[in-house]
Amino acid sequence: MSEEITIDVTVTNYIKQGLGETTFKAKSNEYRKMPNPYILDFFVSGYIPTINTGDTLTLRGKFTSNTNFQMTSFIKRVESGKNNHIKVLTKTRGVGPVMASKIVENSYPNTFEKILEEGFIEGLGIKSKIVTRLKEEALGYVDFAEIQLFLNEYNIEFNDIYRLYNRFKDKTIEKCKENPYILLDELYLDFTRVDAIAQKNYAFIPEDFRLQGAILSYIRQMVKSYGHTFVYESNIRKNLSKYLKVYSASNNKTSTYEGREAYLDMKITEVLESLATTRKIVITRNKEVYLSYLFNLQNKVVRELKQKTSKINGSFSKKQDKDLDKFLESSPLSDNQKEAIRNALKYKLSIVTGGPGTGKTFTLTYLLKVLSKYKPKKTIQLLAPTGRAAQQMVTVTNCFAETIHKALGLSQYFDSCKESLEGDYIVIDESSMIDLKLFLCILESLKEGSHLILLGDANQINSVSAGNVFKDLIDSEKIPVTRLDLIFRQSQKSLIISNSHKIISKEKARDLECDDKFEIKDSTILTEFKRLVDKHVPISDIQVLTSMNKGDLGTWTLNPLIKAYINPQPIIAEIGLGEDVSLGDRVMQTVNDYDVDVFNGDIGHIVNYDDKYLYIEFPNKDIKYPREKLNYLTLAYAITIHKSQGSEFPSVLIAVDYNFVFNRQLLYTGVTRAKNRVVLVGNNKIYDELDKIIEKEGANRNSTLAKSF
């Protein structure tokens, strides 16, 4: 509707923060720049990480209508004077007048530039979570509109622009023009997007820059999508050509290396050597190509494991050993369960693995009895990867348990441990969910002489992030492993348990036994949800599980459908990716947030609300949830099987849809989330779909941890 302009505005009364999007109402005295000079207030859309009513800003962008302005960049304005700078800083949550005065006294008049300097604000002894907020606030007052405009074509989020600015300062644009592929290195952006822009706008970029970007991007994609810790050099050579196809608007042709395969192979060799020389990758004698940080991470894990497994740590006298043997022999434990307890007492590191119904929980409770009887002065720490798994440990043991992240003081994206594990005996459940980075943090945080006991099911899906830790430790044959494979009599009666073992054993779908607690239905998820409700199954007991977020049977489609059926109440807020919520809705936290004290995977219900907060009832705690953080919530009537790992639900509906991610391990994990009832729901070929899923093996992860120590 108009040309791009610069306009001064004041934020008025409407502010809405979404995921990567901010909308607010503003007014301006620059009426000559308005499409309609009689309408002086309008809505602004763009992204500003922190904003308050009364803020004054200079915006760049254009009007798309008389009352809507699309912002491409901004800078906040503040009048000179220490008191004005102090007033601005106290808008930041957690920053009071004393802290703000301390910052300003050490930085004025360049307050906001100094805050953005690496190490300055940290050097004042300010907590890391407040440091992040201060930097977000300060960036708005630094004139980097030109940088924002330049990077807008790359569709880069504001927090990534901050990272680039902090890295290169006023050289940001120069560095990006010199080599646009540094965006792949610094921000891990998608290669195709960066490559297309680079090829379109920059004619003289050295070929090696492009090849380096493509190789690093390919390795990172394999790490992120498949959890590999390395890729084989042969696969890089085999798959790189598809990364190098770029559409050329000038000649309508695709630029490739077709007919020049030998030349490309030679260039790949040169670039790999260059990347290895600059220590961005490590190439082993077996032609395994690691990103350097993953190579170093694995080596650190190996060093820690060698220390933890170098010697037996038993501390029983012969008399105590005999007494323990007598105690265990008189118990109802199986031989393998007794072995698990002896290993936990004898070795610094031991593993217990088994499927549903094999007595992992019973073994854990008996281990706690033994420790209480024979090691009364020793401390026990119970941990799990998720809040729901930790709560399950509390339920079965009647002892305190918490998440690994909380015990170690870790944020969502941590670099190092903040706390140590003080327990003498540390038991971690659902250990198959632990990735390489988290495992290193656990090992480094153990105190001298402590015992680490890992419980888990090796048949479940792997951790979300890189590594194959639990299975690698089992396969190493250097750690005492107890395999619980006996299904106890009371569990044999459960078709959920018996069928889960059939699934992992690759039996046909028609061999799965069915009754009213295990059903296979040619139906729809919503129809089956309604059927269970009509059978008086409490809505709070029913959990829908899917293999994906996207698609007709993904969470993004199913959640609004289920919500519309069970809770068509007035909308009180928008969360996550634009989902509307009402009082009573079931929601899930998607990141760890220590300020609010909720963690990734926690599920709760909205019980009240006001202008500033939603009041959400999570298990064992009621949370006053700030509206500015609602983008960290999502509806949770349907969740992915990955998100459900570590949880149990009374009744589970599983959307059966054969696709590129749905495999046997994922189905097994979904089925074993149910306590009382499972309904597998699909189309009229559901048995054929199930057979394909059961036949499909989960991708093996590239990892050398098992043979490295």
pLDDT digits (tens, 9 = 90+) for 698-709: 778 889 888 877
Query: 87 with 70, same domain?
Result: no
458 and 384 share one domain: yes
Q: Which residue has the higher pLDDT, 461 or 520?
A: 520
pLDDT attached to residue 257: 62
Instruction: Specify the pLDDT at position 77.
Output: 77
Q: Quick check: 18 pLDDT over 80?
A: no
Residue 493 pLDDT > 80: no
Higher pLDDT, 191 or 542: 542
- The answer to whether residue 688 is domain-embedded is yes
Residues 599 and 659 in one domain: yes
Beta pairing partners, 71: 61
Query: What share of residues in the chain are helix, strand, coil (percent, to 5)?
Result: 40, 20, 35
Average pLDDT over residues 364-371: 90
Q: What is the CA radius of gyration of the chain?
A: 28
Last residue in a domain, options 49, 77, 105 = 77
Question: How many C-beta atoms surround the C-beta of residue 199 within 10 A?
Answer: 17
Identify the band that residue 248 occupies on the pLDDT scale cut at 50, 70 and 90: very low
Backbone angles phi, psi at 609, to 5 degrees: -165, 160
Tokens matching residue 279: 């220590």
Number of domains in the chain: 5
As a whole number of angstroms, the distance between CA 532 and CA 522 comes to: 15
pLDDT at 320: 72
Name the pLDDT band for 2 (thresholds 50, 70, 90): low
Most confident of 120-124, 264-268, 470-474: 470-474
Question: How far apart (Å, rounded) are the C-alpha atoms in residues 266 and 500?
Answer: 50
Instruction: Identify whether residues 142 and 184 lie together within a single domain.
Output: no
The verdict on 447 and 592 lying in the same domain is no
Within-domain flag for 103: yes
What is each CA distance from 525 to 168, 373, 531, 639, 667, in whole angstroms? 51, 49, 10, 13, 16
CB 509 within 8 A of CB 520: yes
- State the pLDDT confidence band at 415, using cuts at 50, 70 and 90: low
> Residue 184 domain-assigned?
yes
Give the CATH number, domain containing residue 381.
3.40.50.300
Q: What are the phi and psi torsion angles at 19 (to 5°)?
A: -75, 105
**Other CB atoms within 10 Å distance of the CB of residue 574:** 16
Residue 526 and residue 382 in one domain: no
Residues 562 and 661 in one domain: yes
Least confident stretch, 27-41, 57-71, 479-493, 663-677 = 479-493
The least confident of 48-62, 186-200, 617-631 is 186-200
The residue among 274, 287, 277 whose CA lies nearest residue 208 is 274
Looking at residue 272, its pLDDT comes to 94
Residue 444 lies inside a defined structural domain of this protein = yes
Average pLDDT over residues 489-499: 73
In this structure, are 190 and 252 located in the same domain? Answer: yes
Measured CA to CA, the distance from residue 436 to residue 467 in angstroms comes to 5
Banded model confidence at residue 173, pLDDT cuts 50, 70, 90: confident
Q: Which two tokens stand for residue 219?
A: 């390795």
Same domain, 225 and 186: yes
Q: Is residue 332 part of a domain?
A: yes
* 3-state secondary structure labels for all residues of 644-703: HCCCCEEEEEEECCCCCCCCHHHHHHHHCCEEEEEEEEECCCHHHHHHHHHHCCCCCCCC
The domain boundary residue, chosen from 484, 510, 545: 484
Quote the pTM value: 0.74
Mean pLDDT across 164-190: 76
Could you read off the pLDDT of 270-302 as tens digits, one per residue?
999 999 999 999 999 999 999 999 999 999 999
More confident position, 210 or 368: 368
pLDDT at 485 over 60: yes
Q: Give strand ranges (E) for 47-138.
A: 56-65, 68-77
Which residues are registered as beta bridge partners of 63? Answer: 69
**Predicted local confidence at residue 246, as pLDDT:** 46
Contact 679, 464 (CB under 8 A): no
What was the pLDDT predicted at 254?
A: 43
**Averaged pLDDT, 138-164:** 67
* Res. 587 pLDDT band, cuts 50 70 90: very high
The pLDDT value recorded for residue 635 is 94
Separation between Cα atoms, residue 432 and residue 429, nearest integer Å = 9
CA distance 508 to 260: 48
Cα–Cα distance list, 439 to 134, 245, 298, 404 (Å): 31, 38, 10, 10
Q: How confident is the model at residue 247 (pLDDT cuts 50, 70, 90)?
A: very low
Residue 38's domain is classified under what CATH number? Answer: 2.40.50
Pick the closest to residue 480 from 363, 573, 342 (CA basis). Answer: 342
Structure confidence at residue 350 (pLDDT): 93
| Domain presence at residue 307 | no
Do 533 and 673 fall into the same domain? yes
**Percent of the chain residues past pLDDT 70, beyond the cut:** 89
* 649 and 585, same domain (yes or no): yes
Q: Which of 20, 44, 77 is the last residue of a domain?
A: 77
Stretch 248-262: mean pLDDT: 52
Ranges 72-81, 208-217, 399-408: which has the least confidence:
72-81
Q: Is residue 365 part of a domain?
A: yes
Q: How confident is the model at residue 643 (pLDDT cuts 50, 70, 90)?
A: confident
Task: Note whether residue 702 is domain-resident.
Answer: no
153: containing domain: 82-160
Dihedral sign from CA coordinates of 94, 96, 98, 101: positive
Are 352 and 459 in a shared domain? yes
Q: Average model confidence (pLDDT) for the chain?
A: 83
